[in-house]
Structure 1
Amino acid sequence: MEKDQFFCPNCGTKISRSDVYCPECGYNIKKYLDTLQDQPAHQKPAATPKSTPHRSTQPVRRSPRKPIKKWQTFTGLAIIIILVGGYLFLNNYYGKKATANRLVTAIKQDQGKALAALITSNDPSFKPTSSNVEPMVTYYNQNKDKLATLKSDLTTTGFVNDRMRFVDSGHHFFVFHNYKLRVKPLYPQIQTNKKNAKLKINDNVVANQMNTTDPKKFGPYIPGEYHIQTSATVHGHKLVNNGDYNWINPSNYDLDIQSILQTISYSVKGQPGSKVYLSGKEIGKIGSNGYYDIKNYPFSQNMTISLSLKTQSGKVVNSQKTKVDMSMNNTTITPQYSGFATTDEASDLINSIWGDISDGTVTDTESANDDDYADYFIGGSTSVNYQEMIKMVDGYQKDDDILDYEMEPSIKSVVPYDVNQTKVVYDVKYTFDNDDHYHIQIFEYDAIIQKSGSGYKLKSNTMDHKVDDYDKDE
């Protein structure tokens, strides 16, 4: 070995003393040699012996330390970020609020499969599917305010009602929450008064022929909106009973259904030309006589009657729905309009106007002022209608042939006329005491009453025609 060469003390590679670092393992040769020079002579290591055939003087080689590459560092960091990010994402995704939002969205968008995956039950007979959760979708999409309440309940207490609770039913991947809507299924008992009746629930035939008139249990069903139809042919006539049921939190009593097959007859009273709706379906129009007759119609539970009318302003207004029951058989039904005067409100105003004249409270302008009679009229004492009433009663007071008089109004119809205005058709029966006999006249009036504050006032009043005119002995 040449004088300026020796073996690397770290890996045993033959190197030159002039090397700063070992070219094989990167060991700092210069620092090592400087350290040796600083030590006393007796502490310096002995010279490396010459090799002999029996013993090798070659140092044991060590594997070189390879530097960590940058891409390995970045890869490790990326994996850590992905794992942490994935955990945070899934922890939020499966959280209570996010799951509740997905459930509500599934209802809004009618995603039956997604909704079924978020529903569970302790009843082993009920397995949620995209089809059997549809009644819940129908109910909440028909009752938007209830859907908003559902979302609030899910994200707070989790308690919806006695049949629905939002619970943690286990874990996803053994780590994350598994929130689901746990439902208590429905088992309605349905009874019909006719054997061999056909029964449908939400358009699905559940019994082609009911072999008994005793209650029969059906189910399980999810809480929601249900339509039950019973039909049978009796003496050649097909009878149908239709019922709609909001079974979102029904009691056991609510689930006992009597589907009675029978017919009902009645008349609907309203403004001529008004459309008549039976349980939301148009069936005809009010005739010129002010009536629409329904005869021997199959009776259904939850049957309703309503009207739709186009006012003179062109606005279409709908009446309130009147629930029909068998007590109304062979009677007259008069649906009322919300936002307009009811029959009672119109009657109160008309009876007050004519009553104050009939009973002698108002006989002239002075007594009208004392009675605040002008308050019944739009425009007060400047109203033409007010002035005509005062003129009429003043004339009766001054007529020597009239010993006494009486006016008796009776309401015939009350219908919407325009915005905040209601048309009232009524008769007034005049009875004049002419000493030896009574002279009786009946006139029909068309009046428009207008909303004023919390009440109504007379806007116009027109005598339409004479209905009757006769004398009667005292």
Structure 2
Amino acid sequence: MSGRRFCPNCGTKLESNVEFCPNCGFKLAKKEHASPSRQAYQQTVKKQGSSKGRQAYHAQPMKKKTKVLLTLGVAFLAVFTIFYAWGSNHYSKENQINRIKSDLIDTKTGLAKDVVADDSAMQVTDAALKPTQTYFAEHHKAANELINYLKEDASFNRIHLVQSGHHMLIFPRYVLRVPTIYATVATNHSNSSITVNGKYIGQVKPGNFASEKQDNKYGVKLRHLFVGTYHIKVKSNISNRNLSTTSNYDLWSSGTVDMGIRTENFTVKSTPGAILYLNDKNVGTLNKKGQLMFKDYPVTDKLKIYVKAKVGSNTIKSQELNYGDVQYDDANDSHKTIEPKWDGLIAKEDAQEILEDNFKDPDEDAFLNGAENKSYQELRKMDKGYDEDDDIDSYDMSCSVISVSPAPNKSSNVVYKITFTFEVGDTERKQVLLYKGASFRSSDSDDEDNESQKIKSIGTGKIVSDKRY
């Protein structure tokens, strides 16, 4: 059976050694005889290969649920990528520091969300941090220095930047670590009460409060405080007279605040009609002579003094000074004369010297905008006219400044008289002109001599006297 062969074309039984079918003539290929087991294996492999080919060709479509999940996964990844990029920028260290600065200098904004205390026992609230905000709101230069230090991972007056938790569980959250202090207010009268930032603290008690002033034997300890600016008021009844004193203190370390009440006499001199402020409180208007006197007024060395004046449509403010920085009058060690300074205000003698020199011989360097200044051109024309007048044999002039008052933008308003003396033949003629509306402006130079002041305008002159001798 194993040697039988059949024609693959017509099925005729063949002998084992023939090359062509005797029935149909089909050429028979010479094959390698395979065992039944091998044939079965080949047939199985063939069927499997054919089956696999059909399966690959007829792949099953993706299920709808799988497709939805895949789409959602891709969308989530895209949204998360955008969110992370936004968060990395919005919650970057530098941007968080900049937002902290905005809150720090705006007393209308709460600061508690940006702060942790250096003492865990301290309760962090917007109200408790208001003095810290007040200080930096009034000292923008210090606020800028603080921010620069924080960006360099350094501290400023013991204020640090620290990480505290995360924003949205991902991005580091940065806050200020603000120091806390303990303070005591001491005074020299037993029946005194203390108020801090408008809040009543209580009556003073006797004790040793480490005060620099021996008379301050009464005091009260303040609660735990954040560093910053505190408005402290002491009220006392002395000889059946109610007195009080207030001061602003920048508290950056624990210690004693001396608030002894003493009464003194002093006079404030400045521009007539200016309003006087003591510790930011309007206490009166200077009279026509530019004076306001006080007798037995309660003072402290920290009593802040300044004036405000109306100039045209502008209100200008003088420089601030503390009562303790003013010396007593030479002739009276129980009285002080206080004269707040104005930015850019020219001294009377300096104004007089500059005007007199330039009426005699105008110098373009003494004028604002130099040779382009109209007053400079006016004086040059006037001076030339006198020199070329054949009727005038010789002439001279002198200047007398009547008043100097402050003006906006580091300027000064000046009222003065110019007296001309003309020699005309045997006659001497004296002509006096009153100039109003003259103005000087201080230059940016730190030099305080005359060259730091420039003539903006010589004003308008009017003849008030004209006599011949």
Q: TM-score, normalised by structure 2?
A: 0.61
TM-align CA RMSD: 4.8
Confirm whether residue 185 of structure 1 aligns to residue 194 of structure 2: no
8 Å Cα contact 2:344/2:441 also seen in 1? no
Query: What is the percentage of aligned positions where both structures have the same residue?
Result: 21
Distance 1:463 1:231 in 2: 58
Q: Return the offset for 1:232.
A: 1.1
Match of residue 320 from structure 2: 321
Distance 2:160 2:137 in 1: 19
Confirm whether residue 297 of structure 1 aligns to residue 297 of structure 2: yes
Distance 1:72 1:348 in 2: 87
8 Å Cα contact 1:167/1:181 also seen in 2? yes
Distance 1:188 1:93, change over 3 A: same
Letter in 1 for 2:336: T
Secondary structure in structure 1 of the residue aligned to 2:271:
coil
Secondary structure in structure 1 of the residue aligned to 2:206:
coil
Q: Return the offset for 1:82.
A: 4.9
Question: What is the CA deviation profile of residues 199-235 of structure 1, one whole-angstrom value per residue up to 9, with x for unaligned ones?
Answer: 1221122233333463465342222221111111111
8 Å Cα contact 1:226/1:244 also seen in 2? yes
Match of residue 232 from structure 2: 228
8 Å Cα contact 2:235/2:242 also seen in 1? yes
Match of residue 336 from structure 1: 341
Distance 1:109 1:331, change over 3 A: closer
Secondary structure in structure 2 of the residue aligned to 1:161:
coil
Distance 1:128 1:291, change over 3 A: same
Distance 1:157 1:121 in 2: 21
Secondary structure in structure 1 of the residue aligned to 2:352:
helix
Match of residue 97 from structure 1: 94
Confirm whether residue 283 of structure 1 aligns to residue 278 of structure 2: no
Distance 1:275 1:157 in 2: 45
Decide which of 230, 236, 239 is 2:243's aligned counterpart. Answer: 239
Question: What is the CA deviation profile of residues 449-473 of structure 1, one whole-angstrom value per residue up to 9, with x for unaligned ones?
Answer: 63486335693788999xxxxxxxx
Match of residue 308 from structure 1: 308
Letter in 1 for 2:69: Q
Letter in 1 for 2:113: A
Distance 1:107 1:251 in 2: 20
Match of residue 142 from structure 1: 138
8 Å Cα contact 2:194/2:200 also seen in 1? yes
Confirm whether residue 71 of structure 1 aligns to residue 61 of structure 2: no
Distance 1:293 1:93 in 2: 57
Match of residue 455 from structure 1: 453
Distance 1:223 1:68, change over 3 A: farther
8 Å Cα contact 1:163/1:184 also seen in 2? yes
Match of residue 413 from structure 2: 422
Matched positions, count: 361
Decide which of 158, 174, 177 is 1:163's aligned counterpart. Answer: 158
Unaligned residue ranges in structure 2 (runs of 5+):
1-37, 45-59, 211-219, 329-333, 368-374, 387-393, 420-431, 443-450
Distance 1:263 1:237 in 2: 12
Letter in 1 for 2:228: G
Secondary structure in structure 2 of the residue aligned to 1:320:
coil
Letter in 2 for 1:130: D
Secondary structure in structure 1 of the residue aligned to 2:284:
strand
Distance 1:272 1:84, change over 3 A: closer
Letter in 1 for 2:338: I
Distance 1:251 1:86, change over 3 A: same
Distance 1:78 1:408 in 2: 86
Distance 1:264 1:105, change over 3 A: same
Q: Return the offset for 1:352.
A: 8.0
Question: What is the CA deviation profile of residues 41-99 of structure 1, one whole-angstrom value per residue up to 9, with x for unaligned ones?
Answer: 57546xxxxxxxxxxxxxxxxxxx89433112112333444555555555555542243
Unaligned residue ranges in structure 1 (runs of 5+):
1-38, 46-64, 357-364, 388-393, 397-406, 429-442, 466-474
Distance 1:314 1:196 in 2: 47
Distance 2:413 2:178 in 1: 48
Distance 2:234 2:464 in 1: 49
